[in-house]
Chain A
Amino acid sequence: MSELWPYVAMVIVGFLPNEVWRWLGIIMARGLDERSEIVVWVRAVATAILAAVIAKLTLLPPGALAGVPVAVRLASVAIGFGAFLACRRSVLAGVAVGELVLIAGAMLRTP
């Protein structure tokens, strides 16, 4: 039972709350306006939740990332984001530069 529990949890709080929107999409395939007010609000809330997760992973990170000084993690995000904006919003360029900053910074700052 205890070995099955993580899978039961995944289905109940991960799979179902996610998949239900795909099923609803099939059922409601006609007449949903992407610009309707409720859709705009829900997307704003979802974006803020994801932003909170991003900030949490950067500032209060799990495992090995916690061993990298917080200043290096923040520099990685800031410089990576700068590269993203400079390269016409290229996610690939931003992630690559952010990663290079993190690796270089971690090697310089950690003994």
Chain B
Amino acid sequence: MRSVFILVTVGTFLGIGALAHDLGFSLTWAVVCTILVWAGPAQVILLTALGGGAALVEIAIAVALSAVRLMPMVVSLIPIMRGPATRNRDLVLPAHFVAVTIWAESLRLLPALPRENRVAFLNGMGSGFMAVGAVFTIVGFYLAASLPMVLTAALLMLTPLAFLMSTAGNARLLADRLALLLGLMIGPVLAAYRVELDLLWAGMIGGTLAYAVHRLREAAR
């Protein structure tokens, strides 16, 4: 495999499979979730919030907010994929495969291909990554059920480690970096005091504060 992203995919879904097991979801549910949702952050939010008994409205809003970033990714890929004979419905499947890994690989690989082959190429690459994701969801689930405790703990630790670092790596603007820091600090405080809708509040307070600081700094220039 020439793509380092395949390793990231393996790690992400090992962690998600282990998380699904330890939060009491069924194996089938976990695999269907990987195929239907196909977005790491949304799946981790869905698992932890649903497993922790959060209100359904809160989960839906938290998942939706985590997924807004998919829209500009799809928007930026469409002009590369659309040919003269491409209909919108031909783009529904390739758009479903779009997550940060596929998006980055598509931007790298698609421009070198003839335009009429690009949708098919993305569908093939997306299916391949998704198959890897589904297989390692299963592997993570079974490993969490059978490994010694220390190694299961290590699998569960994959998710916070990988997400912390990939989020920090993608955070280019001051607003993004501050939001990461504030969310890390506010989230556990709200959870410890058992505040209702703690994830949503942490996001609104931390994200809005970070955005306000970003605006103030822009204005001061």
Contact = CB atoms under 8 A, between A and B. Distances in A.
Contact of B160 (A57, A68, A89): A57
B191 interface: yes
Contact of A76 (B46, B75, B161, B165): B161
SS class of chain A's interface: helix, strand, loop or mixed? helix
Contacts of B153: 64-65, 67-68, 102, 106
Interface residues of B, number: 105
B88 interface: yes
B188 A26 contact: no
B208 A45 contact: yes
Contacts of B206: 44-45, 48, 51-52
Interface centre among A6, A57, A92 (most CB of B within 10 A): A57
Contacts, number: 319
Interface residues of A, number: 72
Contacts of A32: 71-72, 75
Contacts of B163: 50, 53-54
Nearest to A64: B152
Given A15-B36, A23-B95, A50-B167, A45 B203 contact: yes
Given A18-B66, A63-B21, 8 more contacts: A11-B36, A13-B60, A25-B72, A39-B68, A52-B199, A56-B188, A95-B11, A95-B162
17 contacts: A6-B26, A6-B50, A13-B59, A17-B67, A21-B67, A23-B95, A25-B71, A34-B76, A39-B72, A45-B207, A47-B179, A49-B62, A52-B198, A57-B44, A60-B192, A65-B156, A81-B168
